[in-house]
């Protein structure tokens, strides 16, 4: 291991410490500030002359000028290996349940535990053979982890071609045991353990090529999959003012999304929301496998009252773990809530470093940092021909709900889909509050394009009529325009809106979306004849209620067909054949 | 053991700089000058320069004042004897009672491990339909009341505190008008609740640094009670004053302001306090109700804006009523499926119809002809405002739900409301 060097604290300002050092120190190197019996983890973020500035991942109370800092020579890293799934970590990958078992109700400062269980054994089946030539990221063997075959891979930091000298036999092993011994081109020997470490701020790039995201990622939220789809390996963002339902939308997605693994990075948000996830998921069934939802979930939880610097690390921890599983040919969805809190953590540190501030005091490098983060998503072809993907969905919490602010704008430049939430829609209890006229997506969805385009046109015209009616009133509006308005409202109430708490309505499969949208598309296309506006309104009120009831029954039940034919009948009564 | 220093290098705002060594970050000190003795806290260390924030302000502090470091951070006593007592922002008695020195615990302690929290499950009944029916308050929730000066937010806070079934009430007053402080004291006393209350009060006339301590002290005490399996309700009024106090110190310390002069860590600072709201898995709970006045009635002002992102909803108090739009209890879904089967239906339908009523009002104001539907909405809106929204209404939840159905049935046909047929079949009042 690298030897440790020592430094001395010269100043303390919030969670920033200034440390004088003598031997070489690297940018982003990890150091520990020692006071009394405490060792507080910190990261170098600037070096000037013989003084390094470190952000401490803990409360700095009681640090003294003159206290010692140990530099470790290692960049901020995470442990990668079997046993990650189902875990609940803080931003630095400390397991929270284990911390609770040791220290009780509160997070004790300076307490760090191994991320992976050192006692648990895993049933190993070797794949690589002695004498084979391998390189970083190649599979040495597998262990079953829940429903997946977890690949034990050649350590990612080894360079060039390596020859397998020996590989562990079939059997049970702990994560700190040796899986294989590898010899590099110069004859140096390397132990490949059942786990490895990787610096969070460096992307894992051990694939053959990056592909264009084309396959839709079904979230089972109708407005998303039909109107503003997300692709596997794509990126999307959900900006919205507080109370518009960003987190609820992400929670729903984390439950129903059609991917192998979901990583939830709760970054600087409410603890209560994470608690809901971590208490409920173990009891929820994964609709794809019938197993506990927790088996495909990994939670990184650095809530708003936990130290700010670790909040910045948490999104990187999340994306690194996602890249690790992608390397096994799996489809991973990373949900980061909220990227604004991460940006604010950058702003806080930038302020303490007294850097020249950019817009709204965010640092000038904000944009490139955000872009680099989202660029870690993507669908890739692995060297063995397998396909894996990391999809990143980030919420943005713009100050005052104003999308013109720097974090939203920087994010919009780099993502492939924009789900803008609106205060008006959430006030009117229209969930999900995605604004259908402003949002966009560059990916292909589950419903035929021409149907969606037609429906979108209807929404736009309905909105225009509605605006016009505010000026000229209902009596000044022609009945045709009025029906257009009612059709748009109908589409909104029965398709765009979805009851997140209803057992059937909360998740709509892509088959059901195709089927139901086909019917609704037919309603929108139908020319209708009404004697007067009140009759038209009443018709749509009744049809809306019927369709909502329809949304709430299972697709394979008898009621589904019955309600459908009743709606057809209603429609036939008002159809104009002129 | 205790070190005394006399070399004060700088006095600016409420922050003094003294040359000293072996001082811990956040350590407490006593500053003694001709004007008397005050507590002070270390807020920055730079070589041998120690920056201290003086609780009673720097007015009258001389360059030869004595600074004695106490070797520990800010602490607060804890015992049952706190109940019924009133203290200042730095923990000194404000009533005539004796000082308490038992079980000193540090304030601003570490945050709760999320793994030790449980999903909140108990409703807090308030008798206010706009809360109970539409935005149910839940034990361990953190919820601010967004309001403007002149609105009756303090009486509302007091009323909720008195009607809620909790074991301990802790009031943290920041920048309170002296009248308001006396109001809280008298109301709690009148209703016999003072004996289960502790008050930490900073009035507008007190030094600004003490204002900064109030939430931490109040919440540290609340935490201790909660660990003893008590259900604690913490009232904080007014958090905007707290944020303004932070702004003052930040600017004195020459920090780069981020938005309208507030420091960049406003969100983290507010969150550190609000996140103390908790339901422990084997102990009690802390519920936080706070008041946030919105300067200029502007919800995009940094204080209400950041607060909204932290708290689990908000109540808008405007024109003496809790507004249904914008008001939100994020935790209501956790409890309102266990109250009565029609709770959610009434909650959603009545608000959607009220929104439609507001649109009709606009149309009416512009002189458009009112359709049959508009007429129905107008009738509905008036009754909703009078019988549900008015703050003087004080009825239990079940009665409020029945009233909701009655109002709907008096104004509409069942199919017009958008309520699923299964619900109307069961609950729609028969004429």
- State phi, psi for A96 to the nearest 5 degrees: -70, -40
Cα B405-B411-B414 angle, rounded to 5 deg: 60
Instruction: Give A211 to chain B, closest Cα distance, Å.
Output: 37
Is B156 in contact with B317 (CB distance < 8 Å)? Answer: yes
**Reported confidence tier of residue A1, pLDDT bands at 50, 70, 90:** very low
What digits encode the pLDDT tens for the residues B352-362? 899 899 989 99
CA pair distance A80, B105, nearest whole angstrom: 39
Does the fold of domain B75-331 match that of domain B4-69? no
Give strand pairing partners of B106: B75
- State phi, psi for B422 to the nearest 5 degrees: -60, -35
Q: Which of A241, A242, A356 is most worth mutating to test chain B (most B CB atoms within 10 A of its CB)?
A: A242
CB contacts, 8 Å: A243 with chain B: 308, 313-314, 326, 328, 330
- State phi, psi for A115 to the nearest 5 degrees: -70, -35
**Bridge pairing between strands A148-153 and A196-199:** unpaired
pLDDT of residue A429: 80
CB contacts, 8 Å: A96 with chain B: 113-115
CB contacts, 8 Å: A64 with chain B: 22-25, 45
Cβ distance A303 to B265 less than 8 Å, yes or no, reads no
Q: What is the pTM (predicted TM-score) of this model? A: 0.91
**Reported confidence tier of residue B256, pLDDT bands at 50, 70, 90:** confident
- In the predicted model, is pLDDT for residue B341 greater than 50? yes
Per-residue DSSP letters for B168-192? EEEEEEEEE-HHHHHHHHHHHHHTT
Is A104 touching B (CB cutoff 8 A)?
Answer: yes
Residue pairs spanning A and B at CB distance below 8 A: 222
Most confident by average pLDDT, A124-133, A283-292, A344-353, B205-214: A124-133
Is B302 in contact with B260 (CB distance < 8 Å)? Answer: yes
pLDDT of residue B190: 93
- In the predicted model, is pLDDT for residue B1 greater than 80? no
Query: Closest Cα to residue B317, out of B192, B144, B196?
Result: B144
Is CATH 1.10.1140.10 correct for A449-574? Answer: yes
Longest dimension (CA), chain B: 85
Does the fold of domain A121-194 match that of domain A5-75? no
Cite the DSSP H helix spans in A66-222. 96-103, 222
pLDDT of residue A145: 94
Average the pLDDT over A53-60 and give the result. Answer: 93
A279 vs B113, B118, B328: nearest CB: B118
Is B251 touching A (CB cutoff 8 A)?
Answer: no
Share of chain B above pLDDT 70, in %: 100
The residue extents of the domains of chain B are 4-69, 75-331, 343-427
CA pair distance B172, B219, nearest whole angstrom: 9
B118 vs A100, A109, A275: nearest CB: A275
CA pair distance B127, B163, nearest whole angstrom: 8
Centre a 10 Å sphere on the Cβ of residue A450 and count the other Cβ atoms it contains.
9
What digits encode the pLDDT tens for the residues A157-189? 999 999 999 999 999 999 999 999 999 999 999
CB contacts, 8 Å: B24 with chain A: 35, 61-64
Q: What's the CATH code, domain A121-194? A: 2.40.50.100
Is A76 in contact with A26 (CB distance < 8 Å)? Answer: no
Residue B238 preceded by cis peptide, ω within 30? yes
- In the predicted model, is pLDDT for residue A8 greater than 50? yes
CA pair distance A336, A320, nearest whole angstrom: 13
Give strand pairing partners of A301: A266
A319: Cα within 13 Å, side-chain hemisphere: 29
Cβ distance A96 to B115 less than 8 Å, yes or no, reads yes
Average the pLDDT over A266-274 and give the result. Answer: 87
- The CA radius of gyration of chain B, in Å to the nearest whole number, is 25
Instruction: Give A578 to chain B, closest Cα distance, Å.
Output: 28
B183: Cα within 13 Å, side-chain hemisphere: 16
CB contacts, 8 Å: B112 with chain A: 105-107, 271
Per-residue DSSP letters for B128-165? -HHHHTTS-EETT-EEEEEE-TTS-HHHHHHHHHHHS-
Torsion sign over Cα A104, A106, A109, A110? positive
CA pair distance A71, A79, nearest whole angstrom: 19
Is A12 in contact with A51 (CB distance < 8 Å)? Answer: no
Cβ distance B264 to A397 less than 8 Å, yes or no, reads no
B 70-109: CB under 8 A from A: 73, 109
Torsion sign over Cα A232, A91, B331, B385? negative
- State phi, psi for A396 to the nearest 5 degrees: -125, 135
Is A271 touching B (CB cutoff 8 A)?
Answer: yes
Architecture of the B75-331 domain: 3-Layer(aba) Sandwich (3.40)
Query: Closest Cα to residue A105, out of B212, B77, B286?
Result: B286
Instruction: Give B43 to chain A, closest Cα distance, Å.
Output: 7
pLDDT of residue A578: 62
CATH topology of domain A79-115+207-441: Rossmann fold (3.40.50)
pLDDT of residue B287: 96
- Which residue is closest to B283 within chain A, CA to CA? A105
Is A282 touching B (CB cutoff 8 A)?
Answer: no
CA pair distance A338, A141, nearest whole angstrom: 37
What digits encode the pLDDT tens for the residues B131-161? 999 999 999 999 999 999 899 999 999 999 9
Share of chain A above pLDDT 70, in %: 99
pLDDT of residue A351: 86
Domain range A5-75, its CATH number among 2.40.10.170, 3.90.1150.10, 3.40.50.1980, 3.40.1260.10: 2.40.10.170
A 136-155: CB under 8 A from B: none
How many residues are recorded in chain A?
Answer: 578
Architecture of the B4-69 domain: Beta Barrel (2.40)
DSSP A424: H
Query: Closest Cα to residue B425, out of B417, A501, B399?
Result: B417
Centre a 10 Å sphere on the Cβ of residue B327 and count the other Cβ atoms it contains.
23
B302-310 vs B266-274: helix crossing angle, rounded to 10: 50
Query: Closest Cα to residue A96, out of A320, A299, A308, A273?
Result: A299
Residue A432 preceded by cis peptide, ω within 30? yes
Cβ distance B371 to A399 less than 8 Å, yes or no, reads no
Instruction: Give A283 to chain B, closest Cα distance, Å.
Output: 14
- In the predicted model, is pLDDT for residue A386 greater than 90? yes
The string over B129-166, giving b where at least 16 C-beta atoms fall within 10 Å of a residue's C-beta and e elsewhere, is bbbbbbbbbbbbbbbbbbbeeebebbebbbbbbeebeb
B114 vs A96, A241, A280: nearest CB: A96
Cα A551-B348-A264 angle, rounded to 5 deg: 70
CB contacts, 8 Å: A541 with chain B: 415-416, 418
The residue extents of the domains of chain A are 5-75, 79-115+207-441, 121-194, 449-574
A545 vs B278, B306, B415: nearest CB: B415
Instruction: Give B209 to chain A, closest Cα distance, Å.
Output: 17
Q: Report the run of H or E that residue B165 belongs to, with start and end.
A: none
Is A67 touching B (CB cutoff 8 A)?
Answer: no
What digits encode the pLDDT tens for the residues B351-407? 989 989 998 999 899 888 888 999 999 999 999 999 999 998 999 999 999 999 999
The SS3 of residue B289 is strand
In chain A, DSSP finds a helix count (H) and a strand count (E) of 14, 28
pLDDT of residue A3: 61
Query: Closest Cα to residue A205, out of A324, A312, A317, A79?
Result: A324
């Amino acid at each position: 291991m690298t030897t440790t060097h020592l430094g001395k604290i010269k100043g303390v300002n919030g969670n920033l410490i200034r440390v004088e050092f003598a031997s070489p120190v690297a940018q982003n190197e990890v150091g520990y500030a020692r006071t009394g019996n405490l060792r507080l983890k910190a990261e170098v973020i600037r070096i000037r002359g013989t003084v390094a500035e470190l952000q401490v991942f803990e409360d700095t109370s009681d640090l003294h000028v003159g206290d010692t800092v140990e530099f470790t020579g290692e960049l901020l890293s995470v442990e990668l290996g079997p046993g990650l799934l189902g875990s609940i970590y803080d931003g630095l990958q400390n397991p929270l349940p284990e911390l609770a078992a040791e220290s009780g109700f509160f997070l004790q400062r300076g307490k760090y535990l191994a991320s992976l269980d050192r006692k648990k054994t895993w049933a190993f089946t070797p794949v690589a053979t002695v004498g084979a030539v391998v390189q970083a990221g190649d599979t040495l063997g597998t262990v079953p982890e829940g429903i997946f075959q977890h690949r034990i891979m050649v350590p990612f930091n080894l360079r060039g071609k390596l020859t397998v000298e020996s590989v562990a036999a079939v059997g049970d092993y702990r994560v700190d045991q040796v899986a294989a011994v590898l010899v590099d081109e110069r004859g140096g020997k390397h132990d490949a353990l059942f786990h490895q470490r990787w610096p969070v701020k460096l992307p894992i790039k051990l694939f053959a090529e990056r592909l264009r995201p084309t396959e839709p990622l079904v979230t089972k939220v109708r407005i998303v999959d039909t109107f503003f789809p997300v692709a596997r390996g794509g990126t999307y963002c959900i900006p919205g003012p507080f109370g518009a339902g960003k987190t609820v939308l992400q929670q729903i997605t984390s439950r129903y999304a059609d991917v192998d693994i979901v990583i939830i990075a709760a970054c600087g948000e409410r603890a209560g929301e994470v608690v809901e996830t971590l208490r409920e998921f173990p009891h929820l069934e994964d609709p794809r496998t019938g197993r506990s939802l927790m088996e495909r979930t990994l939670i990184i939880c650095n809530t708003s009252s936990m130290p700010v610097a670790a909040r910045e690390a948490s999104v990187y921890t999340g994306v690194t773990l996602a890249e690790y599983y992608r390397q096994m040919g799996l489809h991973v969805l990373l949900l980061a809530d909220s990227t604004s809190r991460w940006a604010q953590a950058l702003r806080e540190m930038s302020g303490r470093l007294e850097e020249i501030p950019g817009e709204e005091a965010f640092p000038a490098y904000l944009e490139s940092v955000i872009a680099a983060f989202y660029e870690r998503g993507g669908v890739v072809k692995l060297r063995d021909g397998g396909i894996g993907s990391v999809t990143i969905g980030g919420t943005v919490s713009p100050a005052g709900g104003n999308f013109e602010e720097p974090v939203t704008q920087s994010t919009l430049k780099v993502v492939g889909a924009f789900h803008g939430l609106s205060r008006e829609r959430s006030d009117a209890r229209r969930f999900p509050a995605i604004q259908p006229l402003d949002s966009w997506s560059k990916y292909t969805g589950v419903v035929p394009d021409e149907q969606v385009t037609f429906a979108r046109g209807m929404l736009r015209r309905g909105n225009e009529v509605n605006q016009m009616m505010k000026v000229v009133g209902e009596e000044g509006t022609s009945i045709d325009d009025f029906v257009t308005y009612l059709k748009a409202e109908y589409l909104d109430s029965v398709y765009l809106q979805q009851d997140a708490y209803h057992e059937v309505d909360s998740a709509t499969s892509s088959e059901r979306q195709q089927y139901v949208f086909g019917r609704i598309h037919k309603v929108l296309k139908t020319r209708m004849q009404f004697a007067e506006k009140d009759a038209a309104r009443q018709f749509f009120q009744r049809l809306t209620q019927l369709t909502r009831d329809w949304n709430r029954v299972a697709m394979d039940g008898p009621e589904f067909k019955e309600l459908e034919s009743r709606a057809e009948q209603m429609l036939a009564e008002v159809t104009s054949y002129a | 053991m205790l070190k005394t220093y006399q070399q004060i290098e700088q006095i600016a705002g409420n922050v003094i700089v003294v040359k000293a060594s072996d001082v811990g970050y956040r350590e407490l000190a006593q500053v003694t000058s001709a004007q008397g003795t005050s507590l002070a806290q270390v807020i920055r260390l730079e070589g041998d320069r120690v920056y201290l924030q003086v609780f009673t302000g720097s007015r009258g502090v001389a360059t030869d004042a004595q600074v004695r470091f106490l070797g520990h951070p800010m602490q607060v006593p804890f015992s049952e004897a706190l109940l019924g007592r009133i203290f200042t922002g730095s923990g000194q008695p404000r009533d005539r009672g004796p000082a308490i020195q038992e079980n000193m615990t540090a304030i601003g302690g570490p945050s709760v491990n999320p793994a030790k929290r449980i999903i909140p499950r108990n409703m807090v009944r308030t008798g206010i339909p706009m809360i109970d029916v539409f935005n149910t308050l839940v034990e361990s929730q953190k919820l601010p009341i967004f309001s403007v000066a002149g609105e009756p937010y303090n009486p509302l806070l007091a009323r909720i505190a008195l009607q809620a079934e909790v074991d301990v009430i802790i009031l943290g007053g920041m920048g309170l008008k002296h009248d308001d402080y006396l109001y809280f004291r008298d109301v709690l006393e009148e209703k016999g609740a003072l004996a289960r209350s502790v008050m930490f009060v900073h009035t507008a006339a007190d030094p600004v640094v003490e204002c900064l301590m109030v939430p931490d002290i109040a919440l540290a005490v609340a935490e201790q009670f909660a660990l003893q399996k008590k259900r604690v309700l913490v009232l904080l009024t007014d958090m905007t004053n707290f944020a303004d106090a932070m702004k003052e110190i930040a600017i004195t310390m020459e920090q780069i302001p981020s938005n309208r002069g507030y420091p960049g860590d406003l969100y983290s600072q507010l969150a550190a306090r609000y996140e103390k709201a908790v339901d422990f898995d084997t102990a009690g709970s802390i519920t936080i109700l706070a008041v946030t006045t919105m300067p200029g009635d502007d919800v995009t002002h940094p204080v209400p804006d950041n607060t909204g992102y932290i708290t689990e909803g908000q109540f808008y108090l405007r024109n003496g009523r809790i507004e249904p739009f914008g008001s939100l209890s994020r935790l209501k879904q956790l409890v309102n499926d266990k109250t009565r089967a029609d709770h959610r239906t009434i909650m959603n339908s009545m608000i959607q119809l009220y929104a439609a009523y507001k649109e009709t009002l606009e149309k009416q104001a512009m002189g458009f002809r009112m359709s049959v539907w508009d007429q129905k909405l107008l009738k509905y809106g008036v009754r909703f405002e009078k019988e549900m929204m008015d703050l003087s209404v004080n009825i239990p939840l079940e009665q409020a739900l029945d009233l909701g159905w009655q109002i709907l049935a008096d104004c509409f046909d069942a199919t017009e409301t958008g309520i699923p047929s299964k619900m109307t079949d069961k609950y729609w009042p028969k004429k």
